[in-house]
Each structure stands twice: as C-alpha cells, then as structure tokens.
C-alpha cells in the first residue's frame, strides 16, 4: 500500500498539508517535533517507535483540514498575538526549552498586546469585535498542549473560532487555565463561534498577518473554511482521546 510518512512536528506537517491533499495518500506521523499537537489530537503515542507501530497496524481515519486564503492547515490559524509568538519561536529555542519555549515567547509578546478592531463575518451575521487574538481551530490542541475547545474533534466538520476580547494584557493571565482545559467559551471576555466558514475583515484597512500551524501563511482579510474528510491518517486502535475515532 502506498502512503506518506512524515517525521517532524506540527510546522513540518503544516507545510506538507497542501501537497498531501493533492496526493490523497494515507498519512503516517512520526512525532519528532516540540509540541506535536496534531499527534495529541489523534491520540498518537509521542514515542516515535510506538508511532511507527501505529502505521504498521494500518488503521486509518478520515480527518478534516482547515483552509485559509488558499492554504490548508491541521491545527489552528491565528490572527493577533499568536503571529507574534510564532515569529519569536526559533528552532534553537524550541530545541533547548521544548514546550516552555512557547511560554517564553508568549511572555515577550503579551505585555505589548493592544486590542484591534475587526469584523467577523459568519454564514448568518457580521460581528464587530475588539480583540487581541483570534484562533480558528480545526483540531483539538495547539501551542504545545493548549486546547481550542474541549468539545472539538478533528472530524466534526466545523471550525471553532475563539476571540480573546480583553482590554488589558494582564487579563490574559486569568484565561490561562481555561486555555489548557479548552473551556474558554465559559469566559465573559471570550467570544466563541462554531461554523463551517468565517471571514475576518480588518477595520480601517489595516491588514494583519495570519499564521497557520505555526507559519505565517497570509494576511487579512482572511477567509477560513473547513474541508471535511480531507485526508486519511493512521491512528491507534484505541482512537483519539475524545473518543471519536
């Protein structure tokens, strides 16, 4: 059986996403990155030898992909703080500090955070927001183990948009526990929207960078959509942690 096997982290997988969609071959993942958020979402063992055993066993699962302005992604696309964090995450830092590198990078960016205005256009309405960060999640995990939404699944056919609408950077500290648990939707200064398609449109024509799976991919205005059942991946028999495999 023909297949594509990729050893690396979320950035490596993200850069291969467009080619994988074109090839339509089953994907085997050897998690060799820092965060390995896609592997976590799929319930894959983080030990590469054990992950190779999953590929050899041959069990497959169809998963969705996200899409933003022509680029496919697995985990999340971001506008705002996340782009600044991405730009400060060097390979050397990730190699030295592992997942902690994400926290150090976030610490450098957060204190400079200022809300920006944007319109979120859904299939039903347009919403004006003042936000420091918008995350549009396809999978369950991002940023080294944080959770987009604890109800999310990578084959649920929808995207999960999370907008952090705080006025002061220190308010983000209080959101950290909910970021790890995936319960941001319960916070009053967080907006969450679930849907198949979104547009994020800058106000006053100030364009902002958009990152996808840790790489700068485009700029606003950004058109996001879900691509249901886009790829087949090898997964463990026990399925994903959220029980949807």
The secondary structure of residue 92, as a DSSP letter, is H
Residue 89 pLDDT: 52
Residue 244 pLDDT: 39
**Each residue of 156-188: pLDDT tens digit?**
999 999 999 998 877 877 888 898 899 999 999
- Kindly state the average pLDDT of the residues 123-139: 94
The share of the chain scoring above pLDDT 90, in percent, equals: 65
Whether 71 contacts 217, CB under 8 Å: yes
User: Among the listed ranges 3-12, 100-109, 146-155, which one has the minimum average pLDDT value?
Assistant: 100-109
Residue 65 pLDDT: 98
Specify the pTM. 0.85
State the average pLDDT for the chain: 86
Q: Is the pLDDT of residue 67 over 50?
A: yes
Catalytic residue among 165, 197, 199, 215: 215
How far is CA 212 from each of CA 4, 42, 219, 238, rounded to the nearest angstrom? 21, 18, 11, 29
Place of tokens 């950290």: 176
- Tell me how far apart the alpha carbons of residues 217 and 214 are, in angstroms, rounded to a whole number: 9
Q: Is the pLDDT of residue 218 over 90?
A: yes
Q: Shortest CA distance to 73 belongs to which of 232, 230, 233, 207? A: 230
Q: Is 215 a catalytic residue?
A: yes
Whether 163 contacts 120, CB under 8 Å: yes
Place of tokens 């918008």: 134
Coil vs helix vs strand at 31: strand
Q: In which band, very low, low, confident or very high, does the pLDDT at 46 lie, cut at 50, 70 and 90?
A: very high
- Domains present along the chain, CATH in parentheses: 4-64+229-234 (3.40.50.10330), 71-227 (2.60.200.40)
Residue 205 pLDDT: 73
Q: In which band, very low, low, confident or very high, does the pLDDT at 146 lie, cut at 50, 70 and 90?
A: confident
- Kindly state the average pLDDT of the residues 34-59: 94
Whether 129 contacts 144, CB under 8 Å: no
Place of tokens 């198949």: 196
- 57 or 94: which carries more pLDDT confidence? 57
The share of the chain scoring above pLDDT 70, in percent, equals: 84
Q: Is the pLDDT of residue 194 over 80?
A: yes
């Amino acid at each position: 059986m023909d297949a594509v096997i990729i050893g690396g982290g979320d950035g490596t997988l993200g850069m291969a996403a467009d080619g994988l969609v074109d090839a339509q071959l089953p994907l085997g993942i050897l998690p060799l990155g820092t965060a390995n958020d896609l592997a976590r979402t799929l319930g894959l063992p983080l030990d590469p030898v054990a992950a190779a055993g999953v590929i050899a066993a041959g069990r497959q699962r169809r998963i969705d992909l996200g899409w933003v302005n022509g680029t496919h992604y697995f985990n999340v696309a971001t506008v705002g703080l996340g782009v600044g964090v991405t730009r400060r995450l060097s390979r050397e830092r990730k190699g030295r500090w592992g997942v902690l590198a994400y926290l150090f990078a976030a610490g450098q960016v957060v204190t400079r955070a200022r809300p920006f205005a944007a319109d979120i256009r859904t299939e039903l309405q347009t919403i004006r927001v003042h936000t420091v960060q918008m995350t549009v999640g396809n999978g369950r995990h991002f940023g080294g183990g944080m959770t987009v939404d604890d109800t999310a699944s990578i084959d649920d056919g929808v995207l999960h948009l999370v907008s952090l609408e705080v006025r002061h950077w220190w308010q983000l500290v209080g959101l950290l526990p909910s970021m790890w648990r995936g319960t941001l939707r319960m916070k009053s200064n967080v907006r969450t929207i679930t849907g198949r398609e979104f547009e994020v449109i800058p106000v006053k024509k100030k364009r902002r960078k958009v990152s996808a799976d840790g790489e700068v991919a485009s700029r606003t205005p950004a058109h996001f959509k879900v691509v249901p059942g886009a790829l087949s991946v090898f997964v463990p028999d026990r399925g994903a942690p959220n029980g949807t495999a």
